[in-house]
């Protein structure tokens, strides 16, 4: 059980024994849980300095009841044993710095790169604890903000379409006539067009199905602002996809800022200011084209393990088993 993400309850069911009793036996007698050196403070923090490497990722995840843990992982371990460098409850910068500083300074100085999101507290913790490391803002977090800005524009028009339909319905009712909404040539009403266009706005045009191509043509003809927002999101993605150096990316970002200013779309103006505030970390992507995918993948494994354990009732014991697998 130390080497596989399976709960004693499931194992007990497989061998037709009392799973809960097996879990208690494993916890109290079969495992070395009660001799675990980090048991007393595991719920608040754990550090495994032997797992540190030059390329790290940092992200937060929730185990139960919305309690966040910050996890630092070593990319070289590829989500297997030796992955966990530190697990710390919460995301407060001062506390993170205090715990990460338990790792000897000579080891912390060997870290060359840490991938991260735009969290101010995580950025500050990495800056203070790993002074020689480049902080790389994950490109997918940046792109997700652009997708959110597009969807905000679409949703704004959808609410307007809903209100217009409500008014038209009320008017028809007062006139005692049947209300018939406008039906477009692909069979959608305007309200349905805006609702059903959600997923195509996340994709490149070359990946659209025939129906999505038709729907996009109708959407962009009727709502050119949505088309402009979609083009701006593609433009930001092209910075990461096409550019091969910081210099090239910097110039392309400058052109993108100009496009955002002329568009007049408020959500993208906010995004533009956010990108400008974090541009150094964003441009560090072009050092090694590093992303935070390793951290996201590890978070998925943690959540999968949590589901296999059918939730987290005993946090310390859950962390003990997680450490056996990944630290």
Distance between CA atoms of 103 and 96, rounded to whole angstroms?
A: 12
Does residue 66 surpass a pLDDT of 80? no
- Cβ neighbors of 313 (< 8 A, separation 6 or more) are 64
pLDDT tens across 169-203, in order? 899 888 888 888 889 999 999 999 999 999 999 99
Angle between helices 224-242 and 210-222 (to 10 degrees): 120
> CATH fold of 32-138+291-326, please?
Nucleotidyltransferase; domain 5 (3.30.420)
Q: Where are the beta strands (DSSP E) in 26-152?
A: 45-47, 55-62, 68-74, 84-89, 113-116, 134-137
Q: Which helix (H) or strand (E) holds 275?
A: helix 266-277
pLDDT tens across 67-109, in order? 889 999 999 998 888 999 999 999 999 999 999 999 999 999 9
Task: For residue 57, give both structure tokens.
Answer: 């990722």
pLDDT at 321: 82
Domain boundaries, the chain: 32-138+291-326, 139-287
How much is the mean pLDDT over the chain? 88
pLDDT at 95: 96
């Amino acid at each position: 059980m130390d080497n596989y993400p399976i709960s004693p309850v499931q194992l007990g069911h497989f061998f037709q024994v009392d799973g809960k009793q097996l879990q208690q036996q494993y916890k109290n007698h079969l495992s070395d849980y009660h001799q675990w050196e980090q048991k007393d403070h595991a719920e608040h923090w754990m550090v495994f300095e032997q797992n540190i490497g030059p390329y790290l990722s940092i992200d937060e995840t929730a185990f139960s009841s919305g309690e966040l843990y910050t996890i630092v992982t070593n990319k070289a371990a590829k989500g297997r044993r030796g992955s966990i460098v530190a697990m710390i409850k919460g995301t407060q910068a001062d506390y993170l710095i205090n715990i990460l500083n338990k790792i000897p300074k000579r080891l912390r100085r060997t870290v060359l790169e840490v991938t991260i999101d735009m969290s101010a507290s995580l950025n500050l913790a990495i800056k203070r604890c790993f002074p020689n490391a480049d902080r790389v803002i994950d490109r997918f977090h940046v792109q997700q903000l652009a997708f959110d800005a597009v969807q905000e524009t679409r949703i704004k028009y959808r609410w307007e379409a809903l209100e217009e339909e409500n008014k038209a319905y009320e008017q028809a009712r007062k006139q005692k006539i049947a209300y018939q909404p406008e039906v477009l040539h692909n069979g959608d009403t305007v309200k349905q067009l805006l609702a059903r266009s959600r997923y195509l706005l996340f994709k490149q045009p070359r990946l659209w199905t025939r129906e999505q191509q038709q729907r996009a043509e109708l959407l962009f003809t009727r709502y050119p602002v949505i088309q402009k927002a979609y083009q701006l999101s593609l433009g930001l993605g092209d910075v990461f996809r096409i550019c091969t150096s910081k210099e090239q990316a910097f110039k392309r970002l400058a052109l993108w800022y100009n496009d955002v200013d002329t568009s007049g779309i408020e959500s993208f103006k906010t995004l533009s200011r956010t990108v400008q505030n974090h541009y150094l970390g964003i441009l560090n992507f072009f050092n090694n084209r590093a992303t935070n995918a390793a951290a996201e993948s590890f978070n998925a494994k943690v959540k999968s393990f949590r589901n296999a354990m059918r939730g987290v009732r005993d946090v310390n014991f859950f962390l003990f088993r997680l450490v056996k697998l990944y630290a």
